[in-house]
């Protein structure tokens, strides 16, 4: 396995002395409102709520003829330890802008569309490479943010992953990082009653259905493979000292990329499904059981996203943390059944 450590080198203290960050598209952006409680630039203490960050309300989408309704909320927080936020996201076309990266942001919106695209990218490495890599990843997603034919979606995810990888690697050469710049990627594309999951690295896509939580994405890590083989429990995997070593990421040189590259999973959508995408700033700290319990108990997507971020900060907030919660309304989708559970990845 090709290994790449997510732990930053000491030279990352000089991150802000390097080249200017990648510019984000600024169209249709609404300035954040004043924070209501603890500012995200402060170090959160146990008992404080660190997630009442500025909320942006993008323009409402127009209903389509054959829509899927998704109530979405994403929160990105730099954490209590790191000076910079290397996470980014794609929320049906909305991404984290330069001025919002380190201050944090909350976006909550209902989307009614025939197709949806959501993703989280967690940057890593180099002097400033993490922020640049995750920004390039989300900026490159325009090739997927369209009404794709169902037969071409998996190929489109592969093509996007390859192109984003090439762009990040090229950027690392141009700014002198020499391949030390990279990002994870976890995404879901929804259309025609199906969800198409793709990922590279260890950011995750989860599904809560009928009260049980399933990991749909595949971690590209040694410890995940050990867990699948029964050599580790999920809890042992989470706490393993090699847990931060991944074998695939966006930004690898072509000769080092594993084949196949992006992992895939397809799932039939059901009414009441709740998806959660997150960076490892959350999944490294909270157990699978706690994630399942909180996602099952709290019905409002913003409230549960805030609670999950707050718990990560309460437990030290050692890493940047981004959480995206996606709730599917009925919209003609079938009800979940025991048979629908049987088709999900039971071992995860």
Cα 234–chain centre separation: 20
Residues 233 and 226: their CA atoms lie apart, in Å, by 9
Beta strand spans in the chain (E): 4-5, 55-56, 68-77, 87-91, 94-95, 105-113, 115-124, 182-183, 185-191, 194-200, 204-209, 212-215, 245-246, 263-268, 274-278, 321-328
306 part of a folded domain = yes
In a domain, 9, yes or no: no
| Res 63: pLDDT | 36
Pairing of strands 94-95, 87-91: antiparallel
pLDDT at 179: 73
Q: Is residue 75 part of a domain?
A: yes
* Nearby residues of 233 by Cβ (< 8 Å), 6 or more positions away: 227
Residue at 130 is within a domain? yes
* 273 in any annotated domain: yes
Q: How many CA atoms lie within 13 A of 115 on its CB side?
A: 12
Structure confidence at residue 55 (pLDDT): 57
Angle, CA of 298, 301 and 304, to the nearest 5°: 45
Residue 234 inside a domain? The answer is no
**What CATH number does the domain containing 154 carry?**
3.60.40.10
**What's phi and psi for 16, nearest 5 deg?**
-75, -5
Give φ, ψ of 276 to 5 degrees: -130, 130
Intervals of the chain under pLDDT 70: 1-65, 126-127, 331, 347-348
Rounded Cα distance, 116 and 121, in Å: 17
User: What is the rounded distance in angstroms from the CA atom of residue 261 to the CA atom of residue 138?
Assistant: 18
What distances in angstroms separate CA 60 from CA 56, 97, 103, 112, one per listed residue?
12, 19, 24, 9
> Can you list the alpha helix ranges (DSSP code H) found in 117-221?
129-139, 153-174
Number of domains forming the structure of the chain: 1
Q: What is the pLDDT of residue 19?
A: 37
Structure tokens at 80: 């209590």
Residue 17 is given by DSSP the state G
Q: Domain residues for 208?
A: 64-221+249-342
Q: What's this model's pTM, rounded to 2 decimal places?
A: 0.82
Model pLDDT, residue 43: 39
pLDDT at residue 206, as a whole number? 98
**Would you state the structure tokens that stand for residue 61, as one six-digit string?**
């989408």
Distance CA 102, CA 125 (A): 17
Which secondary structure element, helix H or strand E, spans residue 227, and what is its range?
A: helix 222-228
pLDDT at 59: 42
Q: Considering the domain boundaries, does residue 36 fall inside one? A: no
* Per-residue model confidence as pLDDT tens digits over 21-41: 434 433 333 333 333 333 333
Q: Is 73 inside a domain boundary? A: yes
Query: Which pLDDT value is given to residue 54?
Result: 54
With 0-12 CB in 10 A as exposed, 13-18 as middle and 19+ as buried, what is 102? Answer: middle
């Amino acid at each position: 396995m090709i290994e790449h450590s997510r732990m930053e080198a000491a030279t990352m203290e000089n991150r802000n002395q390097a080249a200017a960050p990648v510019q984000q598209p600024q169209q249709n952006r609404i300035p954040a409102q004043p924070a209501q409680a603890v500012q995200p630039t402060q170090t959160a203490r146990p008992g404080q709520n660190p997630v009442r960050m500025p909320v942006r309300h993008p323009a409402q989408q127009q209903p389509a003829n054959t829509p899927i309704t998704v109530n979405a909320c994403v929160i990105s927080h730099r954490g209590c330890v790191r000076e910079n936020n290397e996470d980014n996201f794609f929320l049906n076309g909305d991404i984290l802008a330069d001025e919002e990266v380190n201050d944090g942001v909350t976006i909550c919106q209902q989307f009614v569309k025939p197709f949806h695209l959501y993703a989280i990218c967690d940057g890593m490495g180099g002097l400033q490479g993490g922020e640049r890599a995750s920004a390039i990843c989300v900026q490159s997603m325009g090739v997927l943010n369209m009404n794709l034919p169902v037969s071409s979606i998996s190929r489109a995810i592969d093509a996007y992953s390859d192109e984003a990888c090439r762009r990040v690697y090229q950027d690392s050469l141009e700014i002198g990082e020499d391949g030390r710049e990279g990002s994870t990627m976890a995404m879901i594309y929804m259309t025609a009653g199906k969800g198409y999951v793709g990922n590279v690295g260890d950011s995750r896509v989860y599904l809560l259905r009928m009260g049980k939580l399933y990991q749909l994405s595949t971690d590209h890590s040694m410890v995940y493979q050990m867990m699948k083989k029964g050599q580790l429990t999920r809890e042992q995997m989470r706490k393993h000292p090699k847990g931060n070593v991944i074998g695939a990421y966006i930004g690898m040189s072509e000769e080092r990329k594993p084949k196949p590259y992006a992992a895939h999973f397809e799932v039939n959508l059901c009414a009441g499904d709740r998806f959660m995408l997150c960076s490892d700033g959350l999944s490294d700290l909270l157990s699978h059981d706690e994630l399942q319990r909180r996602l099952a108990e709290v019905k409002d997507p913003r409230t549960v996203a805030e609670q999950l971020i707050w718990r990560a900060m309460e437990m030290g907030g050692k890493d940047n943390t981004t959480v995206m919660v996606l709730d599917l309304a009925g919209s003609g989708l079938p009800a979940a059944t025991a048979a629908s559970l049987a088709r999900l990845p039971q071992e995860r």
